[in-house]
Structure 1
C-alpha cells in the first residue's frame, strides 16, 4: 500500500498529465490539505471548480480549505451551499458542522452533526462528533446512548474517536490509552519519519515547545512566567514553535521576549514544520497540544527531535510511539496510573502545571453589575462559581452543584456562559430539579484580566467530574478563591486535586459526591469557616511551591539536564 507521501506525489503527477481530470484535482485537494499544505489544497480545489462549476465535491474541498485557514464564515457558506445540493452526503454535513461551530453558529452546527450521524448512525466518528458538540451545548438528549456507542467503538479498536473529546466520557485510564493509541496508529502508519537526528555534542541544551497556544490562550498564560525564569539558566535555550498567528497580545510579546527564538510556523505543511524543528537543532521537544484541537501530531510523528515529551496541554496519554515521556507530578499521575500511559513517566517534585505569578488581580465591577446578589439580601449572598467550559458540565456534575444550592439558602451558582442555548438548557435543568433558575448566573467570556478580577466576588469554586478544572483551577487559586474537587482515576480528573495538594489544602480534595455536597454546604453556611479557609489559601499562595516560578524553572532545568543527549 502506498504511503500518503507517495499518493500525494502520484496525484501531482496525474494532474500534470491530465489537467482536465476533475476527480484527480478533488483527490489532490484532500491530499494537500491532509499534509497541512493549505495554499496547495486551496489551489487544487479551485482548479476542480474551474472544471465543474458549482460542483458540491469541489465546493466542499474549498470550504474545508477556508475552514483550515481560519476563514470560517466563508467556509460555512461554501459548505452550506454544497450540502444543500447533496443533503444525503454525511461527510459534507460533518465538515459543515465544523465550519458552523467555528463561525459562531453553534445550534446550526449541532443540526449538521445530528444530520451527519443520522445519515451514518453506525459510524463512530459521526457519533463522537455529535456527542462532543452536544456536551458543549449542554444538550443531553440521547447522551447515554451516544456515550455508549463511542465507548463501545474504543473497546472494538475503532480509531474514529478523538482522544481529546473522549476525556469528557467517564472512562478509565486504560480506555483513554486505547483511544489514543488507536488514533496514533493511524498517523504512525501514514507519516514517514525523518532520518534519525544526530545528537549534538556541544553547546547549550535546546528545548523546543510546539503549540497553537502561544498568545492570550491557556497555554501561553500558564507558561510565560516559566519561560521568563528559564532565561536565568545559561545552559538552556528555549525555542517556541508557534502554530498560531501573532494575536498582538501582551502574552505573545512576553513569550517572544522570553524565548531565545520564536519560530512562526502557522500554516506551514507538516513536513516543513518538522524540518524547521530539525534545523534548529532541538534536543528535547515538548508537545504542548497533544490531541487537542489545532495540534499537529503528524509533525511529532516525523520525529524531528531525538527526545519528545507530552506535557501540560493534553491531560492524558498520547498513546503515540513518537512520544517518549510524559511530564507529570506524583499526585496527578501516581504509580497506580502508569499502566494507562504509553510514555515513560517523568515527575517534577512540585505540581506539573506552571502559571503566571506576575498577574495582578484587578478590582471587578460591582456585584450588581455582574448579576450577583448583594450580601445579606434574600439570603446569605454566597457565590459558588464554576467557570469550567460547558462540555465539562455533565448531568452528574450539574446535579451535585444544584444540590449545593439547595443546601445553602440565598446562594447562587456563577457559571461561564456557554455556546448557543447552553445557558437556557442549564436553567431548565435547575427548574426541573426544583431550583429557581435565576440562581444560575452566567458570565460572558471576557479578556483574561477582566475574568480573573471576577474571582474577587466568588466565595468557593465547585469543580466538575470526570474532566475537572485545570487552568481555571489555577486562576481561581491565584485569585484567592478556594477550589473543591473530587480527584478521580484519570489524569484529567486529578489536576485540580494536584494544585490543592501542592498548596497543602488536601482537605479540599474529597472522596465522592456526597462529601463534595456536604463540604460545600457546610462552608456555604459557615462564613467563619470559609473565611479561615480563604486565609489558609492566601498564606499558601505565598509560601508553597505552586506559584514559585523561579523554583519551577530550577526543577525544570534540572530535569532537562537529566534528559540531555548522552
Structure 2
C-alpha cells in the first residue's frame, strides 16, 4: 500500500492568509506565507498566481516570471496566470511570446481590461499601432488612463487631431501625471501651437517642483529641449533610468582574450534603416581601421527597406535583436565579446536601455541619438565635443563626458551636382532664398518672430520652411502675429535624401532653430555647401550647429543672442555678394572636406576606445 504523504495541516490556510495579506497591500508579508507552502501540496499551484503578483509588486521580476511560467502549466485555465506571464514578457522584450500569452488570457476572459492593456502595449512596441488602439479602446472603459496610450499610437500613425484629443483627455484624467503633460507638450510643439504649448509647459514646471507620482515616468527626450532647470531635468532622467535596475553581476564576457587581437566595437541602434541617424553613420562603419578594430552592428528594429547585407553596411557582423527579449539580446551581445558598445539611441523611440542595464559589454557609451545626459549607472560615458559641451562649463549630471576634438557628428558624402533648379522644387527663382528644414517640434514662437523680423528688413528674400500639413496653421498664425508677409513664407514637403540635398543646393542660407539645433540636417547643409546661421544655446542639443560652424571657421554664422541672430542674418542677406562669397568659401574649404570625411569620426572613436581600454582604466571598472 502506497504511503500517504503528510503535509502541514495549515498549508491551505497559509495560501488564504497570504492572499489576505496581498489584498491588504502587504506583498512582502504575503510572500513569507506563500514560501512556507510545500511544492507537493495541493495548495501550492493555487498560490503561484498570487505569489507572482506579490513578487512583481515588490520588484522581484525574475522570481515573478518564474512563478508565472509555473502557474500557466499548473493552472492553465486561470487567466490571471497568462496575464502575468504575458505582461512580464512585454517588460522583458519578449513580444512574440507575450502576444500568445495575452491572447490566451483573453480567450479565457474576453473582458479582462488589464490584458487588453498589455496586449495593446505589446502591439505598440511592435509598431502595430492600429491594432494596439483597438485593444486600448477595449480597456478604456475600465481604465480611463488608456487615453494616454491611444494618443501615443495615434501620434505615431500621424493622426494628430486624434492624438491631441486623447492627450487632452489623458491630462484631464491624470492632472498630476507629468508624462501625460510632456507628451501633450511635445505634440503641441510639433503642431506649432505656441500659446497652448506655453500653458502646458508652465504646468509641467509646477509639477516637477514636487515629487513624481509612482508609475509616472516621463520620457526624457520629450523634455530635453524644453528649457527645464538642471535640477528638474535631472529628476526626469533619474526617474527614467530607475526603471531599468542593473543585475547583481554584469553578463559581459570581455575578460577572455580577444580571438584575433583586434578591439571589438559594437553599435546598438533602432535606426539603421531610413532615419536621420542612419544617414549620418552610413559611411562610418566601413571607415574604421580593420587592422586594429572589428565592428559589429546590433539592430533593435527590423528593416522596412530592402534587405542590406552586413558588408554593405560596413560591419564585420550584423545582428537583428528586435525579436529577442532583453536578456537574450544582452546574452548575444556578450557572446560577441564587445569591448566598447556604443548606443546610438539613448532614450529615443525604439531604444532599449533595458538591454544596456544588463551590462552586455564592459564599456558602454552613448553617442549621437540622444544629445543629452542620461544619469544611468550602466553608461560609462557620453561622447560629445568641446563646443557642444565645453570642458570648463558647469555639468550638473553624473554622466562622464568624453570629448571628441572635432564635431561629434560624423561626415556624410557631398552630393554630386544635379542640375536641378529652384523651379524644379516650386521655389522662386529670384532673390535670396532662406530655408528651415528642422522638424517642427524644434521651432518656437521666438524663432518665427525672428524670421519675420529678418524678412521685414530684407524685402527681396523669401523663406521656405519644411512643415507637415498639421503644423502649417500654427506657423502661419504666429507669422502673421509677428508682422510677416504671408506671400513670402513658403511651405515645403519632405523629400527623399538625395532630393533633399539637391534642394539645399538651390538655397542661399539655412536658418537654424534655437532650443534644439540641427544635427544630421546641419551636416547635410555642409555637404550641400549651404551656410547655416545658428544661435549658440545653453544645452548640448542647442549647440550642434555651433560646433560645426566653429570647426569650419564660420564664426560669422554663430549668434550669441536672438537680436544678434537677426542682425547677422540681415547683414549677410543685404550685403552685396556676401552669400555668394560665403558659399564659395564653404565649397573650397579644406575644413569642410575634413569634416565630411567619415574617417575623421571613426578615428576619434577609435582613439576613445584605446584610451578606455588601457589596463588602468579597466582596473577601475572591475
> Could you tell me whether the CA contact under 8 Å between 1:172 and 1:489 is conserved in 2?
no
2:325 matches 1:269:
yes
Tell me the TM-score normalised to structure 2 length.
Answer: 0.84
Taking a change above 3 Å as real, the CA distance of residues 51 and 254 of structure 1, as seen in their structure-2 partners, is closer
**Secondary structure, in 3 states, of the residue corresponding to 1:556?**
helix
Equivalent in the alignment of 1:441: 490
The structure showing larger relative contact order (alpha-carbon pairs under 8 Å, at least 6 residues apart) is: 1
2:384 pairs with 1:313? no
Quote the residue 1:229 is aligned against: 287
1:485-536 residue CA offsets vs partner (Å, 9 max, x unmatched): 1111111011110011111112211110000011112222224111111122
Residue 399 of structure 1: how far off its partner (Å):
1.8
1:438-487 CA deviation, whole Å, 9 max, x = no partner?
Answer: 43222222211111111022211111111111111111121011111111
Q: Secondary structure at the match of 2:242?
A: helix
Kindly indicate whether the alpha-carbon contact (under 8 Å) linking 1:69 and 1:267 is maintained by their aligned counterparts in 2: no
Choose which of 246, 263, 270 in structure 2 pairs with 1:212.
270
1:322 maps to 378
Unpaired runs of 5+ residues, structure 2, are 1-57, 616-622
- Separation in 1, partners of 2:144, 2:417: 48
Cα shift readout 1:109-154 (whole Å, capped 9, x = no counterpart): 1111111111111111211111111111212343223213323444
1:168 to 2:218 alignment: no
CA contact (8 A) 1:193 1:301 kept: no
Q: 1:454 to 1:249 in 2, by over 3 A?
A: farther
Q: 1:23 to 1:145 in 2, by over 3 A?
A: farther
Question: 1:387 — aligned with what?
Answer: 437
- Cα distance, 1:338 vs. partner? 5.4
Deviation at 1:41, TM superposition (A): 1.7
| Conservation of the 8 A alpha-carbon contact between 2:220 and 2:347 | yes
Q: Which runs of 5+ in 1 are unaligned?
A: 376-380
Given candidates 164, 167, 191, the residue that maps to 1:110 is 164
Q: In the alignment, which of 418, 425, 429 is matched to residue 374 of structure 1?
A: 429
Are the counterparts in 2 of residues 49 and 55 from structure 1 also a CA contact under 8 Å? yes
Give the alignment of 1:26-425 within 5 angstroms. Answer: 26-53=83-110, 55-83=112-140, 85-86=141-142, 89-156=143-210, 158=212, 160-173=217-230, 175-188=232-245, 194-195=250-251, 197-202=253-258, 203-230=261-288, 232-248=289-305, 252-253=308-309, 256-337=312-393, 339-357=395-413, 359-360=415-416, 362-364=418-420, 366-375=421-430, 381-418=431-468, 421-425=470-474
How many residues matched?
Answer: 553
Distance 1:288 1:310 in 2: 6
1:424 and 1:457 map into 2 onto residues whose CA distance is 26
Separation in 1, partners of 2:317, 2:522 = 30
Q: Distance in 2 between matches of 1:460 and 1:193?
A: 53
Would the aligned equivalents of 1:466 and 1:488 in 2 still touch at CA under 8 Å?
Answer: yes
Using the alignment, how far apart are the partners of 1:24 and 1:398 within structure 2? 55
The 2-side partners of 1:196 and 1:434 are apart by 60
TM-score (norm 1): 0.92
Matched ranges for 1:497-516 at <5 A: 497-516=546-565
Give the Cα separation in 2 of the matches to 1:542 and 1:488.
Answer: 23
Secondary structure, in 3 states, of the residue corresponding to 1:339? Answer: coil
> Displacement, 1:187?
1.7
In structure 1, what is the Cα distance between the partners aligned to 2:452 and 2:256? Answer: 57
**SS of equivalent to 2:294:** strand
